Amino acid sequence: MERFYSVYVEKYTNIDYLEYELDMYNLKDATRKEKAEQVIEKLKDQHAREAKNEIFEDEDQVGAKKFNEMRETKTGFGAKGSYK
């Protein structure tokens, strides 16, 4: 009976240890996944801001270019031509 008890204690001690190790591994894995998701979200937000800024910068540059072209031509609102 003593032998069975020692085998029983050894098996369940090992099982308890392995379950603890599995819990620690799962916790580390969950933490790693959460950090990876945060990095991905941060990169997505940064990319969206850059794309938005790029769009608005392009529109501003195009608008300024058209404004300058109209200002310098005789047909634009800043016409320098003579009226007859």
Give the pLDDT confidence score for residue 63 in this predicted structure. 67
Give the pLDDT confidence score for residue 21 in this predicted structure. 96
Q: What is the pLDDT along the chain (84 residues), one digit of tens a residue?
A: 888 888 888 888 999 999 999 999 999 999 999 999 999 999 999 999 988 887 776 666 666 777 677 666 665 555 555 444
Say whether 79 sits in a helix, a strand or coil. Answer: coil
pTM, entire model: 0.50
Give the pLDDT confidence score for residue 84 in this predicted structure. 46
Task: Render 16-46 in DSSP notation, one character per residue.
Answer: HHHHHHHHHHHHHHHHHHHHHHHHHHHHHHH
